[in-house]
Amino acid sequence: GGSASASTIKQVKLERESELRIEVGNETPLKLRLLNGSAEIFGSELAPEMWLTFPPRLKFAVFTWYSATIEMDGATETDYTADETPMVSYVNVHAVLEGRRNRAKALSPNDSEASQGPRVIVVGPTDSGKSTLSRMLLSWAAKQGWKPTFVDLDIGQGSITVPGCIAATPIELPIDPVEGIPLEMPLVYFYGHTTPSNNVDLYKTLVNELAQMLETQFARNAESRAAGMVINTMGWIEGTGYEVIKSKPDDDVNADKLLLHAIDTFKANVVLVLGQEKLFSMLKAVAKSKPNVDVVKLQKSGGVVSRNAKYRQKSRGYRIREYFYGLANDLSPHSNIANFSDLLVYRIGGGPQAPRSALPIGADPIANPLRVTPVNIDRDLLHMVLAVSYAKEPDQILSSNVAGFIYITDIDIQRKKITYLAPSAGELPSKYLIMGTLTWLET
Ligand code: ADP
């Protein structure tokens, strides 16, 4: 595929409750518009006749509840129509959530328990459509005037900001099918790695920080409290299920534990399980002791596209590129030069561990996973993506969210100068930078 000639205009007629599934070609964008009828992309309605331009490689579906004619202009990798989708079951979940929001709103905001809207957490294997379902639930809620909070715990393929972060942002409008989640002032915590096993304690600590911060915001804002949240998680459960993960020798790295930790920490009361029978029964069993938690099994959409590790790695790179340059190259990042002494780089946990023989008798050779240590600036920082912390003192780094990111493009050891790319010119909002293992090769 992908070799179709340029400017091939094509019309597709969609019947009731069917969808057009599209993978945009690898090289060129695809233009698409709604000619007549009504249709939506992941919960966000299309305006009639307006051309939308989708960037290369994007995978999405145009769904209609009634009927629609879609016009496409450009090459696709694949496009086909499907009339079997789980959309009715998804919108039924939305209707239940809507009922809970209305109930929460009607109750006194002074009763912080009862006036709390639904807190939904979406779980399942990687490539089960978790991000997509989260997005639909948010867009449908926003369309009805709610401002639900989107929480993204997926450090591998997050949809709010660069990989390696957990983040939250209020969704005030249906999510734009091309642009995605708006980047205005999200609340972001930098974990710095793309898998939780790098530092499970740090991951949990940041999840706690984010949850606490949201709790504080909800306490002041009855409207967002009633709207509730939708929490997207990472594909913690791989392949044949959580047993694979359970058999790992290091019990602390148990993926299901992180899942349960997230459910507890955010006080989730609706758990949506996508396409994983074993995970569903495990969570169902756990929920027996939690009468307020509903665990619901949902079918995975046949349209969800599986992405292998290499693709995932690549799309992380695209995501970082998008942060600095914009989706359509519409941002102009700025290259800055600083002295080594201007920037203070820190690392959390990790690092080379002293061998037991080098330590005093009785000392623990395992580095404290939450220790914040200064990093010497050297060539190792080249091509790293660092977070700019809001911390005012080093001891606040662990509990502080981040303002944004910089990308190290050159280290001049002789002249003690560091060159970095930042979203804009001028001084960084703070001199405290956090380093993890997140790298990028600008292409
Ligand atoms: P997960 O979050 O579980 O890893 P995603 O929701 O990101 O999975 O879905 C994986 C990919 O499949 C994404 O690129 C998404 O846009 C695409 N996708 C999901 N549902 C559909 C669909 N119905 N038709 C076409 N593509 C889809």
The 10s digit of each residue's pLDDT in 324-382 is: 999 888 999 999 999 999 999 999 996 555 555 666 666 665 678 999 999 999 999 99
**Distance between CA atoms of residues 15 and 81, nearest Å:** 9
Predicted local confidence at residue 252, as pLDDT: 37
Q: Assess whether the C-beta atom of 128 lies below 6 angstroms from ligand 1.
A: yes
Q: How far apart are the first and last CA of the chain?
A: 24
Do 419 and 408 meet the contact criterion of CB atoms below 8 Å apart?
yes
Predicted local confidence at residue 358, as pLDDT: 66
Q: Assess whether the C-beta atom of 261 lies below 6 angstroms from ligand 1.
A: no
In this prediction, residue 413 has a pLDDT band, given cuts at 50, 70 and 90, of very high
Most ligand 1 atoms within 8 A of CB, residue of 54, 60, 230 to mutate: 60
Return the higher-pLDDT residue of 302 and 254.
302
Q: How distant is the alpha carbon of residue 37 from its chain centre?
A: 32
Nearest Cα residue to 406 out of 422, 430, 389, 417: 422
**Distance between CA atoms of residues 198 and 214, nearest Å:** 25
In this prediction, residue 254 has a pLDDT band, given cuts at 50, 70 and 90, of low
Most ligand 1 atoms within 8 A of CB, residue of 23, 123, 131, 279 to mutate: 131
Q: Assess whether the C-beta atom of 177 lies below 6 angstroms from ligand 1.
A: no
Instruction: Please check the confidence at residue 128 and state whether its pLDDT lies above 60.
Output: yes
In this prediction, residue 253 has a pLDDT band, given cuts at 50, 70 and 90, of very low
Helix axes 87-106, 130-143, angle to 10 degrees: 50
Environment class of 171 (CB within 10 Å of its CB; exposed 0-12, middle 13-18, buried 19+): buried
Q: How far is the CA of 338 from the centre of ligand 1 (A)?
A: 41
Return the higher-pLDDT residue of 4 and 314.
314
Q: Assess whether the C-beta atom of 304 lies below 6 angstroms from ligand 1.
A: yes
Q: Which residues pair with 348 in a beta bridge?
A: 372
**Distance between CA atoms of residues 433 and 38, nearest Å:** 47
- Provide the 10 A C-beta neighbour count for residue 436: 24
Residues making up the binding site: 19, 59, 127-132
In this prediction, residue 17 has a pLDDT band, given cuts at 50, 70 and 90, of very high
Predicted local confidence at residue 274, as pLDDT: 95
Specify the amino acid at residue 261: H
Strand ranges of the sheet holding 385-389, from the earlier edge strand across to the other edge: 334-339, 417-422, 402-412, 385-389, 432-435, 344-348, 372-374
Predicted local confidence at residue 307, as pLDDT: 85
Most ligand 1 atoms within 8 A of CB, residue of 23, 132, 178, 237 to mutate: 132
Residue nearest to atom 18 of ligand 1 (CA): 304
Residues making up the binding site for ATP: 19, 59, 127-132
Specify the amino acid at residue 36: N
Residue nearest to atom 22 of ligand 1 (CA): 303
Q: How far is the CA of 419 from the centre of ligand 1 (A)?
A: 37
Q: How far is the CA of 4 from the centre of ligand 1 (A)?
A: 24
Q: How far is the CA of 341 from the centre of ligand 1 (A)?
A: 45
Return the higher-pLDDT residue of 347 and 276.
347
Q: How distant is the alpha carbon of residue 415 from its chain centre?
A: 39
**How wide is the angle at C-alpha 2 spanned by C-alphas 18 and 57, nearest 5°?**
70
Pairing status of strand 59-64 against strand 18-24: antiparallel
Most ligand 1 atoms within 8 A of CB, residue of 14, 21, 30, 59 to mutate: 59
**Distance between CA atoms of residues 100 and 115, nearest Å:** 9
- Residue 342 backbone dihedrals phi, psi, to 5 degrees: -80, -25
**Distance between CA atoms of residues 272 and 132, nearest Å:** 13
In this prediction, residue 157 has a pLDDT band, given cuts at 50, 70 and 90, of confident
**Distance between CA atoms of residues 312 and 72, nearest Å:** 27
